[in-house]
Structure 1
Amino acid sequence: MKHISIEIPSLVENIRIVESFIDNAKEKYHLTDDVYGNIMIAVVESVNNAILHGNKTDKTKNVRLSANLLEGQVIFSITDEGPGFDHKNLPDPTAPENLEKVGGRGIFIMKNLADEIQFKDEGRTVELTFYLD
């Protein structure tokens, strides 16, 4: 099977379920350790954002996570039930005035670890693409 997916309530402790999902994808898709490491960090960060910022830790709202294996790449899709956000106008976490801030680096990290990143449905869905070769 090339497509796997799960849906979890918006609770931070459900991140361990996401980690198991990624471990599962590593075995199912025969991912290398390098790609697996990037996927683990970027996808967990994205699900965390969906739980905290998208769904505001409202456990009645869910986060959907899916993985699709295509020719030479795997695409992870993360969708929340929140209001969305403007991904084009985010503060630059590398700007001097933002270096000391606790948050604001998640999307920067995802962009640096994934080979491609796309925002859909007004920011409610993030697609992270990782090349396998």
Structure 2
Amino acid sequence: MINQIENPDITSVYTLQLASTTNSITLLENFIDELSIKFGFSDLLYANVLTCLSEAVVNGIVHGNRQSPEKKVYINLEVIKEEQLVFTITDEGDGFNLNSLPNSAATENLTGRGVFLINKLADQCIFNSKGNELELHFKI
């Protein structure tokens, strides 16, 4: 379910709260599908948003919240003048040190590849200092 909040400085604000279970990925996909229809995402934008948010939410569920169903992953979206999407994904975990991730380009390392993909596909990617919140920017 998408909650829309009106803000005169921003075109639209949407929020989504997900339980830390893998079943929540379906709700995330539905959320992205609704946004894509509402804002007319190109195929490339749709694929990039879907990939980045899926990776971020799965990381929040599995690594951040340790699949504890009582903990939530929060997604906020600000649509700025229908030109830019700014997603903020937050989990209730302890966070992580971005600099401690191994080199994801090395074939022996599977850890960190989701973060690598997110950095490549989003127009801008900002982690908070604690490592439990990620801000993703996409141009519409």
Q: Confirm or deny a common fold (TM above 0.5).
A: yes
Are the counterparts in 2 of residues 10 and 61 from structure 1 also a CA contact under 8 Å?
yes
Q: Which has the higher relative contact order, 1 or 2, with Cα contacts under 8 A spaced 6 or more apart? A: 1
Q: Which digits, 9 at most, give the CA deviation of each residue in 1:90-123, with x for residues without a partner? A: 211113xxx1344331100100110100012511
Higher helix share: 1
Q: Which residue, out of 20, 23, 28, partners 1:13?
A: 23
Instruction: Output the aligned Cα RMSD.
Output: 1.4
Match of 1:123 in 2: 131
Q: Which digits, 9 at most, give the CA deviation of each residue in 1:68-90, with x for residues without a partner? A: 11142101111000001111332
Match of 1:46 in 2: 56
TM-score normalised per structure 2: 0.86
Q: Distance in 2 between matches of 1:93 and 1:121?
A: 21
TM-score normalised per structure 1: 0.90
Q: Distance in 1 between matches of 2:55 and 2:16?
A: 16
CA 1:105 to 1:57, structure 2 compared with 1: closer, same or farther past 3 Å? same
Q: Name the count of aligned residue pairs.
A: 129
Structure 1 runs not aligned, ≥5 long: none
Q: Distance in 2 between matches of 1:87 and 1:78?
A: 15
